[in-house]
Amino acid sequence: MLKEFRDFAVKGNVLDMAIGIVIGGAFAPIVKSLVDDLLMPVIGLFLGGVDFAENFLVLKAGATAGPYATLAAAREAGAVTMNWGIFINAIITFVIVAFAIFMMIKTFNRWKKEEEAAPAEPPKDLVLLEEIRDALKARG
């Protein structure tokens, strides 16, 4: 059983998956910053100055009654909120990450096809044997 596990773990697919997970973990904060700090302010500006991160619905007021100006104020008061703006940010982040992964896999698959499509050069001894065969046919 240990040998089977070692054979499985040493296969290229497992190593590729591990590398993908590490790269994905490092890539996620970059995409989150892209969405939160660059895209959402621009989208919010076009929608009339809306900050999606501050869009929430108060389900139950906290210790001090609302309305609450910010999500932080609602949380500080202990209000129960539905943070739909943060959810929209998370969806946009997911779509960007999924698209980036799709493009990366598409590129790798294209490279793999190009590598497989390129015919391997026959070994020199095989070429020499073919030349000898052709010379013998020409004589006989």
Q: What is the rounded CA–CA span in Å between residue 138 and residue 114?
A: 37
Domain ranges of the chain: 2-50+83-139
Check residue 30 and give its pLDDT. 86
CATH code reported for the domain at 2-50+83-139 = 1.10.1200
Chain Cα centroid distance, residue 69? 35
For 48-72, the pLDDT digits (tens) are 777 778 888 898 888 888 788 888 8
0.85 surpassed by pTM: no
For residues 7 and 80, the model is more confident at 80
Interacting residues of 35 by C-beta distance below 8 A, sequence separation 6+: 89, 92, 93, 96
Q: Is the pLDDT of residue 10 over 70?
A: no
Question: Residue 29 — pLDDT band, cuts 50, 70, 90?
Answer: confident
